[in-house]
Structure 1
Amino acid sequence: MCRQFVDGHYSEGGRWMYLLHPKYATDPRHYVRAFLLLQEDILDLFSYVEPSDVNLNTYSHRIQQLLIRACIEVEANFTAIFLDNGFGDNDTRFNINDYKLVNTSHRLSSFQVRIPGWTGNRGTRRPFLAWVEEDGRLDWYRAYNKAKHNRHENFHLATFDALLDAYCGLNVLLSAQFMDEDYGPGSKSIGVMGADYYYEGNDGMDPSIGGSLRIRFPDDWPADDRYEFDWQELRNLADPFVNFDYAALTRPERRR
């Protein structure tokens, strides 16, 4: 996972290079490619539905299909995080209560994502913020489930608003794992793109994977949870990583 170092930075001085180690994640490009394909279709949707507050309640079959795709990718990323950390196995059926455990390890609720070119006040989103609020319910994920299982009655819930939260949520998940590395053959390496790329005012954000969104990484990591390793000392180890113990966050009767 990506975390702040003790000095508050994420990637300066080549510290980001742990993301490229073959033991860091299983086939990360697989998950990034799926996001990039979804991004193409959402940008195409913007040709028909203007990214604006006034269109948030728009719904259609196309929007529902994209919402389903986005949420399936969200689920796939959560599952990959668990399996790579030895939590569950290929037969485990995870649910939203399990996914919420990742907020502890990755601080998803602190990420902010902005949609450049948005008209109105809803262009900046925090798709996992509800996990630290009173009801703890992700409305966009609930909309996906209800519209998927009973489309006739809940079709209207698959809105442009829900889609964009799901899309931004997927971007947050990928960023929390891979920062802005796309693992492509011409990968730019982290930090090469400057703050002026897709720049719209002094928003304090950085370009994220795919280049169509801007993101603000958490700056509120507790001191005890920040990284302070020297990657140059660890990089030649066969496996320099330690699994996060998700089972320790669950009640004994729910451990798998």
Structure 2
Amino acid sequence: MDLGQWHYFLSLERDFERTLDYVELAEENHKAYSNEYAKLLLLVGSEVDIVAKILCKDINAASTASNILHYQTEICARFAGMHTIEIDIPRYRMSVLPWLDWGNTPLSSPGWWRSYNNVKHGRDANFNEASQGNVTAALCGLLALHLYIHRDTGHLQPYPKLLEFAFPQTLVARGSGKTLPGV
């Protein structure tokens, strides 16, 4: 399996980690916004779109899913409970549930995804949504999608440095440690 997207995720994670030299990752700072967070939110959001489409094609080669609500329909139908996946950030004693909004009825996109679109289509009016909290959640959402794509991989390496989901005890679905909801 091509690991190009995985290495790109790791590059995005490194870029995010560098921002923590200036703004500590903390609940109190989740509303902090900057040009760097705007850049990262746009890059991560775009990659979520790409990787979600890949996951939908992995689930069903004939998939025509083309937006976040289509992805939600296909991914959640295949992986019941996916919306409850929790990504840990042990260094900061945090956990993020990036897809929790996918458990809502009617269908809805995550708040960080709406912020991504608001920044993408109207940065002048919505620049404050390019925040640490939204980038953190988006990056966790991207990791979650990768975990589902690589659910049958023994050990997806190299491991992320900041975000965690039972690395290295198990990738996701086998052995000890956490398991992916719906797998």
Q: Is the 8 A contact 1:115 1:212 kept in 2?
A: yes
Q: Partner amino acid for 1:36?
A: L
For the pair 1:35 / 2:13, whether they are aligned, the reply is no
Deviation at 1:158, TM superposition (A): 1.4
| SS of residue paired to 1:47 | coil
Judging changes above 3 Å, is the alpha-carbon distance between structure 1 residues 150 and 95 closer, same or farther for their aligned structure 2 residues? same
Which consecutive segments of 4 or more residues in structure 1 shift more than 6 A? none
State which of 121, 144, 169 in structure 1 corresponds to 2:116. Answer: 144
For the pair 1:159 / 2:131, whether they are aligned, the reply is yes
State which of 112, 118, 131 in structure 1 corresponds to 2:102. Answer: 131
| SS of residue paired to 1:150 | helix
State which of 88, 100, 103 in structure 1 corresponds to 2:76. Answer: 103
Q: Partner amino acid for 2:75?
A: V
Q: Which has the higher helix share?
A: 2
Judging changes above 3 Å, is the alpha-carbon distance between structure 1 residues 80 and 50 closer, same or farther for their aligned structure 2 residues? same
| SS of residue paired to 1:212 | coil
Q: Is the 8 A contact 2:37 2:135 kept in 1?
A: yes
Larger relative contact order (Cα-Cα within 8 Å, sequence gap ≥ 6): 1
Q: Is the 8 A contact 2:55 2:145 kept in 1?
A: no
| SS of residue paired to 1:210 | coil
Structure 1 unaligned blocks of 5 or more: 1-24, 182-188, 194-207, 227-256
Deviation at 1:179, TM superposition (A): 4.2
Deviation at 1:167, TM superposition (A): 0.4
Deviation at 1:127, TM superposition (A): 0.5
Provide Cα deviations, 1:99-150, integer angstroms capped at 9, x if missing partner.
Answer: 102122234212111112226xxx2111101111346331000000011101
Distance 2:150 2:89 in 1: 20
* TM value normalised by structure 1: 0.59
For the pair 1:49 / 2:49, whether they are aligned, the reply is no
Distance 1:32 1:95 in 2: 21
Provide Cα deviations, 1:169-214, integer angstroms capped at 9, x if missing partner.
Answer: 0011111121495xxxxxxx539x9xxxxxxxxxxxxxx9424222
Identity %: 26
* TM value normalised by structure 2: 0.81
For the pair 1:86 / 2:36, whether they are aligned, the reply is no
User: Once superposed, what is the RMSD of the aligned Cα atoms?
Assistant: 2.5
Pick the structure with greater CA Rg: 1
Distance 1:165 1:180 in 2: 24
Residue 210 (structure 1) aligns with: 160
Name the count of aligned residue pairs: 167
Structure 2 unaligned blocks of 5 or more: 166-177
Q: Partner amino acid for 1:190?
A: H
| SS of residue paired to 2:112 | helix
Distance 1:62 1:211 in 2: 20
Judging changes above 3 Å, is the alpha-carbon distance between structure 1 residues 83 and 176 closer, same or farther for their aligned structure 2 residues? closer
Provide Cα deviations, 1:38-76, integer angstroms capped at 9, x if missing partner.
Answer: 011011111111011110000011101101111111111
